[in-house]
Each structure stands twice: as structure tokens, then as C-alpha cells.
Amino acid sequence: MNLLVLGPQGSGKGTQAKRISAAHALPHVSTGDMFRAAIASGTELGRRVEPILASGDLVPDELTVALIRERLSEEDARDGFVLDGFPRNLTQAEALDGMLAEIGRGLDAVLFFDLSDELAVERIRGRALDEDRDDDTPEAIGRRLAIYHEQTEPVVERYRATGKLVPLHAARSIEDVSTEIEAALDLLEDGAAA
């Protein structure tokens, strides 16, 4: 299964992507995690992106698209993946379509985590107390949500138009959202088997 999770910061998409990854033996491909790992290990990419992440801005598309292209060509992604944090704008969405078309694959579902800004901000602030993320300052949170509305929401609409979008009520508990996702994935798998 080739899956994509989309939604604002704090919507729980990363948590659910990890659960799906474990339950269905699919690699969890998170651009945010990949950038943070590069920063932690002090690679050249890490040094380049560190100030960008801290500000809440997007890393340039060339870097991000190249990173994803390489990651999706790895052996463990051959039978599927859960893509988290990419695509975040229309340029990246077009690049992803191109990449998948090249290898004769498509997306099976785009899970959309729908959440109000109020709840998103509340959740990110709560998370900032547990995790030590440089981009959980009020300024960077505001910037990330603004970019989400401007640049990522058009990506949601693009996938809605393809009929692959699975809207989820992300304000509910982790367990409830997880149950809804598994029901949707069961339907997909039954459809594929039929």
C-alpha cells in the first residue's frame, strides 16, 4: 500500500503514521524526522536545513524532492510506504506524481487529518512541553500553520479531486482515529483483493 498522511501540525498524523507503519509493515517516511536526523548527525544537509527548520519555513523543494526520491527508491519501500510531511506544496505534489508514474505506482489513499487551528495550537503547545523541538516557539508554530493554510491546503484539494482523499475527524482520541483508519484501510484491501 502506498499511503500518504496530510494535515496540520498537531493533527496526530505522525502518531497515526507510526501506528500504520507498525501494523502493516510499511516504512514510515517522514521528511521532518529525516531532516531532524540529518541535523542531529551533523551532515551537510543537516547544517543547511537547521536554521530553516528552527524558523518554521519550508526547506527548498529541490532538497526535499531529492531526499524523497532517494528514500522511496530504497528496498524497504518497494512494496509500499506511509509518507508523512511530504508533499507540502503543489510543486512537491507534482514531483511525487511524476516519481510514482516513473515506477508505475500510484497512491492508494491520502489520509486527511482535519483539525481546527485552535486545537492544533493547543496540541503543539502541549507537545512542546514533552519534546524539545526548536520549532515549537510561538513564532515558528504560527509560521508553520500559515504555510500549511497557504501551501498545503491546495494539496489537500488536489487529492480530494482524485477521489483518494479519506477525511478523518482528527479532534478525537488516538484510539478512535486509529479505528477509523483501520476500517478505511480494510475497505481498500478488500477492494484490491476483489
| Reduced DSSP (H G I as helix, E B as strand, rest coil) percent helix, strand, coil of the chain, to 5 | 60, 10, 25
C-alpha cell at 162: 482524485
Out of 1, 15, 18, 32, name the contact with ligand ADP by CB under 6 A. Answer: 32
CA dist 146 and 64 (Å) reads 19
Least separation in angstroms between CB 70 and ligand ADP: 14
Q: Is 110 a residue that touches ligand ADP (CB under 6 A)?
A: no
Mask: binding to ligand ADP, 61-100, rule CB under 6 A, as x and -?
---x--------------------xx-x---x--------
Q: Is 113 a residue that touches ligand ADP (CB under 6 A)?
A: no
Least separation in angstroms between CB 44 and ligand ADP: 16
Out of 20, 53, 155, 177, name the contact with ligand ADP by CB under 6 A. Answer: 53
Give 86 or 112: the residue with its C-beta nearer to ligand ADP: 86
Query: Which residues are known to be catalytic?
Result: 13, 88, 127, 133, 144
Q: Which residue has the cell 492544533?
A: 120
Out of 2, 9, 21, 178, name the contact with ligand ADP by CB under 6 A. Answer: 9
**Which residues in the 12-31 window bind ligand ADP by CB under 6 A?**
31
Give 65 or 165: the residue with its C-beta nearer to ligand ADP: 65
C-alpha cell at 24: 502493516
**Residue type at 122 in one-letter notation:** E
Q: Count the Cβ atoms, other than its own, within 10 Å of residue 176.
A: 13
Are residues 13 and 114 in contact, defined by beta-carbon separation less than 8 angstroms?
no
Using CA of residue 187, residue 157, residue 148, residue 33, what is the dihedral sign? positive
Are residues 117 and 12 in contact, defined by beta-carbon separation less than 8 angstroms?
no
CA distances from 43 to 38, 40, 55, 122, 138 (A): 6, 8, 19, 33, 28
Contact residues for ligand ADP (CB under 6 A)?
A: 9, 31-32, 35, 52-53, 56-59, 64, 85-86, 88, 92, 135, 144
